[in-house]
Amino acid sequence: MEIAKPYLLFLGDVADQLAAKTALGIVDWRPEWCIGQHRLPGCKADCRIPDLTIAEAAAKGVKTMIVGVVNAGGVLPDHWVSAIVDALNAGMSVATGLHKRLGSIPAIAEAAAKNGGQLHDVRFSDMNFATGKGKKRAGLRLLTVGTDCSVGKKYTALAMEKGLREAGFNADFRATGQTGVFISGRGLAIDAVIADFIAGAAEWLTPENDPKHWDVVEGQGSLFHPSFAGVTLGLMHGAQPDAFIVCHEPTRTKMRGVEHALPTIGQVIDLTIANGKLTNPNIQCIGIAINTEHLDEAAAHAILTATATEYGLACVDPIRTGVKPLVAEIEKRFGR
């Protein structure tokens, strides 16, 4: 899948910043591709890039409007449809990560056909995958896992790709969710694959490679999330990680979207190894990434230090402190 750049980010009229995490992620990691945002009245999200009308965006050379927001259930509200039709009429392509195909909405299908715009439904995979084989492949793989959903697994993986490359490693981010696909321009939304093929799709995503090459795989969900643990497990079995990083958000009081308590980092390490050794007997935790965005500087450093001591592992906030200690850990344990 090739998505034409640059982008206009459509935010609709969502109720908070978290609903726009796709758009925010694209701006954070690929600001040079993001010409502006398009918001509807009442929108509570803001990417802090110029607000543009569809016509202004088209005049500035935008090639694709990204629907960079998710609402409950991944549905496309009726009142967003006319903005999408306008973008197509202005000559853009449109990409979404919603659960409904853009082309299933007659007005959108018609506008795309009339104007020749592409419709990218990132959450749908039209590929036929094989079932997973579980066979060891050459190359090294790093997976980010989480105590919950939305705790920084994608950010950590992107930061590790950057950090490993800066340190001279050969490393590639492997996107498994819609935002990651928009950021890297490739990959697949693993949770949109038919259940039988989760592990097989993860094997396709992280193919055999040079023995010293690192795939940095974006994790999904959590083994402790009752909605999505099946996806988490299938992805891990297919990715057969040599190393994993546990990602955690310390101010979360319960698992996102459900009533369950959060597991401890230690529980995540233990259950990840217990399950992950099936396809990689040498799987090991190389460190911890804590998202401290809701803490002040002192509290952030206190929790990083305390957690590092508690588990005897490198512990960073990829955004606040960077990932150098995790990259050093990779070098120490696996060499160059």
Q: Cβ(115)–Cβ(236) under 8 Å?
A: no
Report the nearest approach of a second copy to the CB of residue 238 (Å).
Answer: 8
How far apart, in whole angstroms, are the C-alpha atoms of residue 217 and residue 239?
8
Report the nearest approach of a second copy to the CB of residue 226 (Å).
Answer: 3
Nearest CB to a second copy, comparing residues 1 and 229: 229
Nearest CB to a second copy, comparing residues 233 and 243: 233
Q: Cβ(314)–Cβ(287) under 8 Å?
A: yes
Nearest CB to a second copy, comparing residues 130 and 306: 130
Counting every residue written for the chain, the total comes to 336
Q: Cβ(235)–Cβ(202) under 8 Å?
A: yes
Nearest CB to a second copy, comparing residues 47 and 69: 69
- Burial string for 187-196 (b: 16+ CB within 10 Å, else e) reads bbbbbbbeee
How far apart, in whole angstroms, are the C-alpha atoms of residue 230 and residue 222?
9
- 69 contacts: CB under 8 Å, gap ≥ 6: 10, 11, 12, 14, 19, 20, 22, 23, 45
| Partner residues linked to 119 by β-bridges | 94
Helix (H, G, I), strand (E, B) or coil at 140: strand
Report the nearest approach of a second copy to the CB of residue 298 (Å).
Answer: 34
Helix (H, G, I), strand (E, B) or coil at 173: strand
How far apart, in whole angstroms, are the C-alpha atoms of residue 148 and residue 255?
6
Q: Cβ(293)–Cβ(281) under 8 Å?
A: no
DSSP 307: H
Report the nearest approach of a second copy to the CB of residue 137 (Å).
Answer: 12
DSSP 51: B
**Could you tell me how far CA 74 lies from the centroid of its own chain?**
16
Report the nearest approach of a second copy to the CB of residue 217 (Å).
Answer: 15
Report the nearest approach of a second copy to the CB of residue 164 (Å).
Answer: 27
Report the nearest approach of a second copy to the CB of residue 248 (Å).
Answer: 17
Nearest CB to a second copy, comparing residues 42 and 73: 73
| Partner residues linked to 39 by β-bridges | 12
Nearest CB to a second copy, comparing residues 39 and 153: 153
Nearest CB to a second copy, comparing residues 163 and 200: 200
Nearest CB to a second copy, comparing residues 58 and 233: 233
Nearest CB to a second copy, comparing residues 163 and 234: 234
Report the nearest approach of a second copy to the CB of residue 193 (Å).
Answer: 5
Locate 264 and state its tokens. Answer: 């401890």
Amino acid letter, 43: C
Report the nearest approach of a second copy to the CB of residue 148 (Å).
Answer: 13
Which residues sit at the interface with a second copy, rule CB under 8 A? Answer: 73, 130-135, 190-196, 198-200, 223-224, 226-235, 237-238, 257-260, 271, 274-275, 278-279
